[in-house]
Structure 1
Amino acid sequence: MILMLSVAHPADDMRVVRKEGAALAAAGWEVTHLCPGPGGALPPVAGVAIETVAGRGRLARLPALYRRAMALRPRAIHASEPDAWAVARLAGARLGCPVVLDVHEHYPSRLDARLPAALRPPARAVLRRVLGGLARGSDAVVLAKEGLAADYPAAPRAVEVRNHALAPEGIAPRRHGPGPLTLLHLGAIGVARGWPQMLDALALAPPDTRLLVIGRFTDGSEEGFRARAEALGLTPRITLAGWMPAEAALARAAAEADVNLILFQPGEENHRLALPHKLFDGMAMGLPVIAPGFAEPVATILEDTGCGLLVDVTRPEAIAEAVSALADPARRAAMGAAGREAAATRWGWPEEAARLVGLYHALLGGEA
């Protein structure tokens, strides 16, 4: 059994379970996701068994995750956050099984927002040293996007398994027609993800333009969002759907939305290197995207495919101008079709899945 180990990722996480875990299960391995939750087993997701560990806070869950990982006695452990890496390394050493560290983002810069500018370089250096040490003693690192490998030069293996598109089954592409637009924000939302600029741009858009938000506020700013929307007179034009299971979220977005918004703000390294699921979800649904020009992987995809517009996301006027440019249903349909075709081919998940499966064949002797 391959154990997908998470300290913070949810039971049905898109990358950990629906992409990586499902790919390994489809290749013939038994796969279990051990993650935070109510405690005990949950129904399987995409062929992956789900086991949960209760506990308030990340640190409080670590001992229970370690004990359960030891009890499950997996053939390999695939860990998805730096604190999960430490648990995996300890368990892997005791069990004598391979350990794979999944690098989802640029972890050395995670503390930047909490530190004065002068302390950021030394903090990054310390984190690189610690994380590099964990990687050195692992069997492989898996990289979710380009630009991450340089922090793990001593890893025995480094394999890129990027967050490319997993086309949702049973969801028809959006049919673009005339009429008022509904803008979509899909996934985690917060100030750094651009809701202030989103609201100001919505205020500049035609009064029948609507906003659909599917996802959680992850920075405690929901009250500020609601207050700002009310002050701008936008509340009747906004639907806050909250978190929804992946299938339901994508079905609703495909049925209601016309334009996919990705408004990460500059100033964070992870935003510059962003390769978000929401981009590929929107492409697979046939939605044109408005995205930041500074986000290098995102800009590369939009320039390669022609599936959307790159803007200065710090300027609500620029976002509103892009919304206006996408009022033409023929243009939206053309961009949406280009994105959907790219999501099914050169920017699709199957090639990434094959690299992950190949890594595990190498680690486990070719046996599933």
Structure 2
Amino acid sequence: MNVLMLVQSPVAGDSRVLREAATLVEAGHEVRIVGRDVPDGFVAGPGVTVESVSRSRGMRPPGAPAGLAAATSGPQAAVRRTGRWLLLPEHRERTERHWRRAAAALLADRPAFDVVHAHDYNTLELGAELARRWSARLIYDSHELWFDRGLPGRPTPVSRRRGRRHEARLAAEAKVVLTVSEGIAQRLRGRRLADVRVVRNTFPLGDHDAPSLPDRPAGLAYAGRIGPGRDLEAVVGAAALLKPLRTVLAGPADPGYRFDPTGVEVMPPMSLSEVDKLYQELGVAVVTLTDTCENHRLALPNKLFHAVRAGVPVVAANLPELHSVVLHHGLGRLYQPGSASSLATAVQAVAADYAGYLEAVRKARPALAWEQDARVLADTYADLEAA
């Protein structure tokens, strides 16, 4: 089948979208991705075509410095921060709507696709519209519990309630709804969505054998977005308690996010293979989230599965979905979100029985690999084709 994927994330860095596209090509389908901020010359792989649509400018006027403003203190900066806090919800909605309009214009004269695969709520409205126009099958791929995320900016309880109802109405037009964890799947089924399937954010094992690691870890590593909601303050606090173990944070930093990096090493974004090596060099991966929203409580971050692919134990936030997977497979220990001392104690417990946790991760790798989730995705498309 000819498959159109819609996604507002920067495609080149969205491993879920690219893995799904590659899996569908391997199953015999052709895939075109319309995404955002695709670098010149980016190649997604054989059988996958990628096009890029920009979103509108940020809240900065032309020529303004990155972030809110150059100044970080004083009355003027406080006014800017307050204005940004008030306007952020409208800004997000405006930029996402701009992308949908630009993508619709790009696709206006295209031949019909057989399947429209809408990644996340911010592409769902356009995906449903295109599926109706082309008499195509619609798939809704919900990477998050969209209206239960913790977002910066003023609270918007009324628009969130309206958004959930609108999401349910549009998602009811989908033949299948995909999502990333059983907890989110249960919430979506509770909104009367009949066929909800779980395709986790796992990583392919391929020929990645479980590595031979030292008897004791050398440190702990966080690899992911450096920004609010990631409980990085607890990681920094634990670093001081865990000396001489190294603590490394690697990833892209949100503009305007400020934290005290004392006692930790901060590194730039890394490729997936570089993160593998970082995890294996230090020996423990931390999977951190704040306990501030339902989406976090039901999340299974891809860094959990990346650690499993790399063959290293984890210290993870004690949130319901993470709790279930980590303890079921014995992947490591849990810590109380927001508590540096709890995180440090969990790292020390992993280090004390390091060989046992390494063996548990080794045994769990086949069950927590993309090869399992790729089969769910391929079977979903096989069902569509048969129907």
Shift of 1:104: 1.3
Q: Work out whether residues 2 and 31 of structure 1, in 8 Å CA contact, stay in contact via their aligned partners in 2.
A: yes
1:185-200 equivalence runs, <5 A: 185-200=222-237
One-letter amino acid of the counterpart of residue 332, structure 2: G
2:98 matched to which residue of 1?
A: 60
Q: Work out whether residues 215 and 242 of structure 1, in 8 Å CA contact, stay in contact via their aligned partners in 2.
A: yes
Structure-2 separation of matches of 1:281 and 1:72: 38
2:328 equivalent to 1:304: yes
2:280 equivalent to 1:242: no
Shift of 1:180: 6.3
One-letter amino acid of the counterpart of residue 335, structure 1: Y
Structure-1 separation of matches of 2:256 and 2:206: 33
Aligned residues: 346
2:184 matched to which residue of 1?
A: 148
Structure-2 separation of matches of 1:162 and 1:361: 15
1:207-286 equivalence runs, <5 A: 208-218=244-254, 220-221=256-257, 224-225=258-259, 228-230=260-262, 234=263, 237-238=264-265, 240-250=266-276, 252-286=277-311
Structure-2 separation of matches of 1:323 and 1:103: 32
Q: Work out whether residues 279 and 285 of structure 2, in 8 Å CA contact, stay in contact via their aligned partners in 1.
A: no
1:95 matched to which residue of 2?
A: 134
Structure-2 separation of matches of 1:154 and 1:318: 36
**TM-score, with normalisation over the residues of structure 2?**
0.80
Structure-1 separation of matches of 2:46 and 2:219: 30
Structure-1 separation of matches of 2:200 and 2:287: 16
Structure-2 separation of matches of 1:115 and 1:263: 24
2:4 matched to which residue of 1?
A: 3
Shift of 1:162: 2.8
Shift of 1:255: 4.2
Classify 1:219/1:343 alpha carbon distance in 2 versus 1 (closer, same or farther; 3 Å). farther
2:26 matched to which residue of 1?
A: 26
Counting aligned pairs with the same residue, the percent is 25
Structure-1 separation of matches of 2:288 and 2:11: 24
Q: Work out whether residues 210 and 311 of structure 2, in 8 Å CA contact, stay in contact via their aligned partners in 1.
A: yes
Q: Unpaired segments of 5 or more residues in structure 2?
A: 57-94
* CA root-mean-square deviation: 2.6
One-letter amino acid of the counterpart of residue 103, structure 2: L
One-letter amino acid of the counterpart of residue 246, structure 1: L
One-letter amino acid of the counterpart of residue 310, structure 1: L
One-letter amino acid of the counterpart of residue 382, structure 2: H
Secondary structure (helix, strand or coil) at the match of 1:51 reads: strand
Secondary structure (helix, strand or coil) at the match of 1:327 reads: helix
1:201 matched to which residue of 2?
A: 238
One-letter amino acid of the counterpart of residue 105, structure 2: R
Structure-2 separation of matches of 1:355 and 1:151: 18
Shift of 1:113: 5.6
Classify 1:218/1:47 alpha carbon distance in 2 versus 1 (closer, same or farther; 3 Å). farther
Shift of 1:172: 4.8
Structure-2 separation of matches of 1:123 and 1:63: 21
Match among 135, 141, 144 for residue 171 of structure 2 = 135
Q: Unpaired segments of 5 or more residues in structure 1?
A: none
Secondary structure (helix, strand or coil) at the match of 2:386 reads: coil
**TM-score, with normalisation over the residues of structure 1?**
0.84
Q: In the TM superposition, what whole-angstrom CA distance separates every residue of 1:162-217 from its partner, at most 9, and x where no partner exists?
A: 315323445454433256622111222323111111101001112x3212222222
Classify 1:247/1:31 alpha carbon distance in 2 versus 1 (closer, same or farther; 3 Å). farther
Match among 368, 371, 374 for residue 350 of structure 1 = 371
Q: Work out whether residues 332 and 350 of structure 2, in 8 Å CA contact, stay in contact via their aligned partners in 1.
A: no
Q: Work out whether residues 164 and 343 of structure 1, in 8 Å CA contact, stay in contact via their aligned partners in 2.
A: no
Shift of 1:359: 2.0
2:18 equivalent to 1:17: yes
One-letter amino acid of the counterpart of residue 201, structure 1: A
